[in-house]
């Protein structure tokens, strides 16, 4: 298997070229045997030492590794051998979710949990009499029978349900390291071993006290925490998983002689004609050649309402055909599609680690050494007084100090928040940016392409006496539909279908259009001019708060003026108001003329606005604000905002295609909805609050429980219950972030 992966045909299938590094590639590996933060560090270390391997990032939550490597210097068999030497298995994963071994491991974990739960209930039933009975109520033979029954029922838990803890702990010890499962496995082994000795020899040095109920309950709750963590990942990754698995396996492709055949999607090439039936997913980017339908692009753009698509319109891979059958000409396939770009960004984001998570990874190993040492010291202290009590104290210390809650505090919250944002069309490219986003106090917007849309909007029509605005617009539309000038296209769009015909049309650069316009079946014709004021003999310019003016004139002179301005995004004003309601300072920077920038700022309610800004000027503005102590989020379209996006504390890219190529953005708003900006900042603050709650709880739990365990005031069963419940509380608290507040 390993040698076969060294063939170019194989590794080219599960890796892709690395942007910016000629000859280098990157790929994902599904790691087998990872259970804790220490495992992630071990895997990173094992791979990073190999020649030709660079930039190793391991995600412990998803058990995956992203590596950059050079085919000239190394081969996949070397990675797998290095991981095997460290005690881990690995398989190439085309994406993070299609690794079959992980799915199998999830099913086995469920069975381990069910066995532990069933046996725990039976053992607890046998343990209750010992807790409630008065001395002498239970005869020795009945007590022995209950002990033996509990021992038999605990065996499946230790041999089957506990296997993940024991196997991981043995692997760690074999390689001279301590992972999170080492104290867990030691606690279980000591508790079961001491209980077994007491069952076989009730009069021995360890006495007759047994902890079968503590063992089974601890294992059950520990596995419950892992199952809940797994379910949380599945739930919060919801839209990410749906998107990554969204492409169909097969599609109907047109045959040269007519008709269609169903072929695998991977066999499509640019130029193929395919048929997408209602309910199917588009397999590639392309242009509709026939049919009309409603298309759901929510997972790609965040737009919740279906959009109409018909002949000549673009469709993108991963979107969902809802109503009618469409024929489309394939233009881009595979990694060239916008879908593939989004998936790549999602994969990269999922491998990112927030700063607090990296800190937790670093302190995990020293902390675990301290846990084992504390358990040994506590047992030695109590041994001379009561060996049985000393064993119980050691078990309690090992169990209660397991840092599961600490290791889950940050990643569980950030993954939940990222999944919720993805369902609203906000792609989190760096998880650690959520932490920075929570402290933002200033939001700086670019104008063109960010607050405004590409087409201009017709805001007012003024006519000479006796001319109706609708008739003037229809006459202008007859000329404008023959021009590609942005103002002409705006007039044509506003006029819609007109009943006038323009002939003999001439377009004079810098001036406008001239043509003969016929109406009423050709019975009435007139010479019309459409364009600049001087070209149309327009009256003296009036003061106006609007932007561009386009005039219309006939043989008698000036006829009408159409006043335009840039079209705001529909939710621009509401988004600005929402940001100000959060107490944020909102600013506008643009390379456009200052008068246009100030006019737009007044329309949306932005008080601080600057125009005539070069990319260098935007960068200086952001840097100056940061020197003044501001925490700046920059929102741009990725065209000329690269330097300021890179400099800002948080960068947010808007739009459809350009932002996906903007490597400096922390967040990408896929559908371009400005309402996602206040939502993002609000969610980041909620995430920070939840992370702090998680860390505070984990710290408080250890501060209170560790001393109690050391002095012998906490029995093993209570230690196991406390440790498991602390992890469950952290995961459940983080799960609140998977749902956005109702007002959004």
For the beta sheet containing 501-508, the strands, ordered from the edge strand earlier in sequence to the opposite edge, are 452-463, 557-568, 549-554, 524-531, 512-519, 501-508
Rounded Cα distance between 584 and 682, Å, is 11
SS (H, E, C) 626-657: HHCCCCEEEEECCCCCHHHHHHCCEEEEECCC
Rounded Cα distance between 490 and 487, Å, is 5
Q: Is 357 exposed, middle or buried (0-12, 13-18, 19+ CB in 10 A)?
A: buried
Give 623's contacts (C-beta < 8 A, 6+ positions apart): 647
Give 514's contacts (C-beta < 8 A, 6+ positions apart): 505, 506, 507, 508, 527, 528, 529, 530
Rounded Cα distance between 119 and 131, Å, is 19
Q: Look at residue 560 and give its three-state secondary structure.
A: strand
Rounded Cα distance between 196 and 206, Å, is 10
Q: What are phi and psi of 566, to 5 degrees?
A: -65, 145
**Helix residue ranges per DSSP H, 157-211:** 163-174, 181-200
Mark whether 446 is an active-site residue. Answer: yes
For 26, what's the count of Cα atoms within 13 Å in the CB-facing half-sphere?
18
Rounded Cα distance between 123 and 131, Å, is 13
Facing residues of 553 across strands?
529, 558
Rounded Cα distance between 137 and 290, Å, is 86
Give 112's contacts (C-beta < 8 A, 6+ positions apart): 160, 161, 163, 164, 223
Helix (H) or strand (E) holding 114: helix 100-132
Place of tokens 């990874």: 361
Quick check: 260 and 275 in contact, CB under 8 A?
A: yes
Among the listed residues 95, 213, 352, 446, the single catalytic one is 446
Q: Look at residue 229 and give its three-state secondary structure.
A: helix
Q: Retrieve residue 68's tokens.
A: 């950059």
Spatial CA neighbour of 744 closest among 593, 592, 612, 575? 575
What are the strands, taking DSSP E only, across 452-511? Answer: 452-463, 501-508
**Helix residue ranges per DSSP H, 571-636:** 572-581, 594-604, 615-627
Neighbours of 707 (CB within 10 A): 11
SS (H, E, C) 642-710: HHHHHHCCEEEEECCCHHHHCCCCCEEECCCCCCHHHHHHHHHHHHHHHHHHHHHHHHHHHHHHHHHHH
- The contacts found for 99-108 with CB under 8 angstroms, 24 or more apart, are 99/30, 99/64, 101/30, 101/32, 102/30, 102/63, 105/32, 106/230
Largest CA distance in the chain: 120
Q: Look at residue 137 and give its three-state secondary structure.
A: coil
Rounded Cα distance between 277 and 274, Å, is 10
Q: Which residues are catalytic?
A: 446
């Amino acid at each position: 298997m390993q040698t076969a992966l060294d063939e170019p045909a194989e590794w080219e299938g599960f890796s892709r070229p690395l942007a910016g590094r000629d000859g280098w590639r990157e790929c994902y590996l599904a790691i087998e045997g990872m259970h804790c933060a220490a495992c992630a560090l071990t895997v990173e270390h094992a791979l990073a030492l190999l020649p030709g391997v660079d930039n190793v990032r391991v995600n412990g939550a998803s058990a995956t590794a992203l590596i950059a490597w050079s085919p000239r210097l190394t081969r996949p068999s070397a990675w797998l051998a290095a991981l095997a030497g460290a005690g881990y298995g690995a398989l190439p994963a085309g994406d993070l979710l299609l690794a079959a071994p992980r799915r199998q491991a999830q099913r086995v974990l469920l069975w381990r949990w069910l066995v532990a739960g069933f046996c725990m209930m039976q053992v607890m039933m046998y343990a209750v009499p010992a807790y409630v009975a008065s001395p002498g109520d239970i005869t020795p033979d009945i007590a022995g029978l209950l002990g033996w029954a509990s021992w038999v029922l605990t065996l499946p838990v230790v041999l089957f349900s506990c296997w993940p803890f024991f196997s991981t702990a043995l692997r760690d010890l074999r390689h001279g390291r301590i992972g999170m499962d080492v104290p867990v496995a030691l606690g279980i082994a000591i508790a079961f071993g001491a209980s077994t000795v007491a069952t076989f020899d009730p009069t021995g040095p360890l006495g007759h006290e047994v902890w079968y109920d503590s063992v089974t309950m601890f294992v059950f709750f520990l596995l419950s925490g892992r199952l809940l963590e797994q379910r949380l990942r599945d739930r919060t990754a919801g839209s990410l998983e749906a998107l990554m698995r969204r492409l169909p396996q097969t599609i109907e492709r047109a045959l040269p002689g007519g008709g269609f055949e169903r072929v695998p999607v991977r066999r499509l090439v640019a130029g193929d004609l395919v048929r997408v039936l209602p309910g199917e997913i588009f397999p590639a980017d392309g242009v509709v050649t026939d049919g009309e339908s409603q298309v759901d692009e929510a997972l790609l753009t965040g737009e919740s309402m279906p959009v109409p698509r018909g002949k000549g319109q673009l469709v993108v891979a991963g979107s969902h055909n809802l109503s009618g059958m469409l024929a489309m000409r394939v233009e881009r396939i595979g990694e060239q599609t916008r879908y593939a770009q989004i998936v790549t960004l999602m994969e990269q984001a999922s491998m990112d680690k927030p700063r607090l998570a990296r800190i937790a990874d670093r302190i995990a190993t020293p902390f675990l050494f301290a846990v084992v040492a504390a358990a040994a010291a506590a047992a030695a202290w109590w041994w001379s007084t009561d060996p049985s009590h000393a064993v119980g104290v050691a078990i309690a210390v090992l169990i209660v100090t397991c840092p599961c809650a600490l290791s889950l505090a940050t990643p569980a919250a950030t993954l939940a928040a990222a999944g919720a944002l993805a369902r609203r069309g906000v792609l989190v490219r760096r998880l650690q940016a959520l932490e920075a986003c929570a402290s933002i106090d200033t939001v700086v917007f670019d104008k063109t392409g960010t607050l405004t849309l590409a087409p201009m909007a017709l805001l007012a029509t003024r006519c000479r006496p006796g001319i109706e605005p609708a008739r003037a617009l229809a006459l202008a539309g007859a000329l404008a539909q023959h021009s590609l000038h942005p103002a002409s296209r705006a007039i044509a769009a506003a006029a819609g279908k007109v009943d006038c015909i323009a002939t003999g049309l001439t377009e004079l650069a810098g001036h406008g259009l001239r043509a003969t316009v016929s109406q009423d079946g050709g019975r009435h014709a007139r010479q019309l001019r459409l364009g600049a004021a001087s070209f149309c003999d327009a009256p003296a310019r009036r003061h106006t708060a609007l932007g561009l003016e386009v005039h219309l004139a006939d043989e008698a002179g000036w006829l009408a003026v159409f006043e335009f301005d840039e079209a705001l995004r529909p939710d621009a004003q509401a988004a600005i108001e929402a940001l100000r309601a959060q107490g944020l300072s909102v600013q506008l920077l643009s390379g456009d003329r200052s008068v246009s920038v100030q006019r737009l700022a007044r329309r949306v309610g932005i008080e601080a606005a600057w125009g005539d800004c070069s990319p260098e000027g935007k960068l200086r503005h952001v840097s100056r604000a940061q020197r003044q102590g501001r925490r700046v989020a920059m929102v741009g379209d990725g065209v000329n905002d690269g330097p300021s996006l890179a400099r800002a504390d948080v960068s947010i890219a808007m739009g459809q295609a350009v932002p996906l190529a903007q490597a400096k953005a922390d967040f990408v708003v896929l559908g371009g909805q400005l309402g996602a900006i206040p939502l993002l900042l609000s969610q980041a603050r909620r995430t920070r609050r939840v992370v702090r709650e998680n860390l505070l709880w984990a710290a408080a739990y250890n501060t209170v429980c560790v001393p109690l365990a050391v002095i012998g005031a906490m029995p093993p069963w209570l230690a196991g219950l406390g440790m498991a419940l602390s992890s469950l509380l952290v995961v459940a608290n983080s799960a609140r972030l998977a749902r956005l507040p109702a007002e959004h």
